[in-house]
Amino acid sequence: VNVLVSEDGSGSVEVVVGLDEDAVERIGGALEAVMEVDDLLASGWRLDGPDLDPDGYTRVRLSHPFGTPEEAAEVFAEIAAEDGPFQDFAVTRETSLAETRWAFTGRVDFSGGPESFGDEGPAPALHGEPLGQSVEEIEEQLGDSLRRLIQVRVRARLPGEVTSNATTRADNGAVWQVGFGEEPVDLRAEGTERRTSVLVLGGVGALALVALVVLLLVRLARRVTSSDDADGASPAHAAR
């Protein structure tokens, strides 16, 4: 899942699914033949792919734009479902005179394993097992653990200087690696935009104010001195 936020508060949410050659063969060799995306397209999502990339993975990319952080919440809700693995994703913005603070937060929970998938919460159990098979049976067929076979990444790019709790940094953003079947991961990233022009103007204004105060004090001091000189003049000198 890739989240991009621009300086005006607009952006996009992109969901990318990549399958290696073995995965494509196991579903029949034609990914487009088994995809059901009509509902997504009808709700404003854009579809790119399936495309075979140079690294050997076939990827499907689904993206949806948003105009404001509030609209982003509506897009996030569409990929979260009721009990899905991507929960509480949000983009927020706080603006002051000198800076704008952006925040991206969320939670990824694949601790439920295959049951994390489903249109309405966990996938239904068939004969008492998710997806009709136990995790052990699926891993035996694939010859490896689902933790190794399924890799989940969340990327967020925010305006300004970005800090986060992610283990990997990217240009203006952060990348979280989430282990399938592991404990939930809380995502936090913050971007800070400082308006240097406001700070410079504020500094110039402060210097101008200081200069004005000094000038007034100097003039006041001169007036006081002149007054003292006039009061202290001798009578004879004054007569002349």
Evaluate the omega torsion of the peptide bond into residue 50 and state whether it is cis, within 30 degrees of 0: yes
Strand partners, 228: none
**Alpha carbon distance 104, 119 (integer Å):** 25
For the record, the structure tokens of 132 come out as 């009709």
For the record, the structure tokens of 165 come out as 């709790």
- Do residues 112 and 130 make contact, with C-beta atoms less than 8 angstroms apart? no
Residue pLDDT tens, the chain, 240 long: 999 999 899 999 999 999 999 888 888 888 888 888 888 889 899 999 899 999 999 999 999 999 999 999 999 988 887 778 889 999 999 888 878 999 999 999 887 766 665 544 333 333 344 455 677 888 888 888 888 888 889 999 999 888 999 888 777 789 998 888 788 899 999 999 886 654 444 445 555 555 556 666 666 666 666 655 555 555 554 444
- Closest by CA to 2, choosing from 61, 67, 78, 83, is 61
> CB neighbours of 157 closer than 8 A, spacing ≥ 6?
2, 3, 4, 5, 170, 171, 172, 173
- Do residues 5 and 91 make contact, with C-beta atoms less than 8 angstroms apart? yes
Kindly state the DSSP code that residue 165 receives in the 8-state scheme.
S
**Amino acid sitting at position 88:** D
Q: What is the pTM of this model?
A: 0.71
CA distances from 178 to 25, 104, 147 (A): 26, 16, 10
